[in-house]
């Protein structure tokens, strides 16, 4: 029992190592073209009360890949981008609902928990190439449809927004 305090301290230190290094650092200002604005119930901002991201900043969150079919593409595509939960953690999101808006003003509300329950990507690339506006880009909220067949529903399809320009955290 006399080693318990040291063991507890070591365990707590190890748990803290799992948090990304950027999670406690200030959010830098974008130097490139802004492709995503996050607003609402967030604690880290870089322009007024918003968090604005260029492609490099989104890449800095860490790229993950998902190989999946989608209802809108033929065959399996390989998508890459940061995980939605990493974006929410980076801006210090405190809300339960995300209002995701596309270039054409389409808005979908989805539970923030989806970003934590599934490996939802903010896809920037498809098959190794940046996605243009013409091909779902520059940002696509993409659920891992093949990995989780329960996501192949109409409700989830409406949450899968492409040409994303903003996310409001409520």
Establish if 11 belongs to a structural domain.
Answer: no
Distance CA 81, CA 68 (A): 14
Is residue 136 exposed (0-12), middle (13-18) or buried (19+ Cβ within 10 Å)?
Answer: buried
Terminal CA-CA length for the chain: 46
Residue 89 lies in a domain: yes
CA–CA separation, 108 and 37 (whole Å): 15
pLDDT 10s digits, 103-152: 999 999 999 999 999 999 999 999 999 999 999 999 999 999 899 989 88
**pLDDT for 34-70, tens place per residue?**
999 999 999 999 999 999 999 999 999 999 999 999 9
Asked whether residue 5 is domain-assigned, the answer is no
State whether residue 155 is helix, strand or coil. Answer: helix
| Residue 165 included in any domain | yes
Assess if residue 109 is contained within a domain.
yes
Domain of residue 79 covers 19-169
The enclosing domain of 165 has a CATH number of: 3.90.420.10
**Is residue 9, in this structure, part of any structural domain at all?**
no
- In total, how many domains does the chain have? 1
Task: Kindly report the pTM of this predicted structure.
Answer: 0.84
């Amino acid at each position: 029992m006399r080693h318990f305090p040291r063991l507890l301290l070591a365990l707590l230190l190890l748990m803290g190592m799992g948090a990304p290094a950027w999670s406690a650092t200030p959010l830098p200002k974008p130097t490139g073209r802004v492709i995503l604005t996050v607003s609402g119930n967030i604690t880290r901002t870089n322009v007024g009360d918003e968090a604005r991201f260029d492609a490099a900043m989104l890449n800095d969150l860490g790229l993950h890949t998902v190989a999946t079919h989608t209802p809108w593409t033929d065959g399996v595509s390989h998508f890459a981008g940061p995980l939605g939960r990493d974006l929410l953690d980076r801006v210090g999101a405190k809300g339960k609902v995300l209002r995701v808006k596309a270039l054409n003003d389409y808005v979908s509300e989805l539970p923030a928990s989806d970003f934590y329950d599934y490996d939802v990507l903010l896809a920037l690339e498809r098959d190794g190439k940046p996605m243009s506006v013409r091909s779902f880009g520059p940002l696509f909220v993409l659920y891992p449809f093949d990995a989780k067949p329960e996501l192949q529903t109409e409700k989830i399809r409406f949450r899968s927004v492409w040409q994303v320009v903003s996310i409001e955290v409520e």
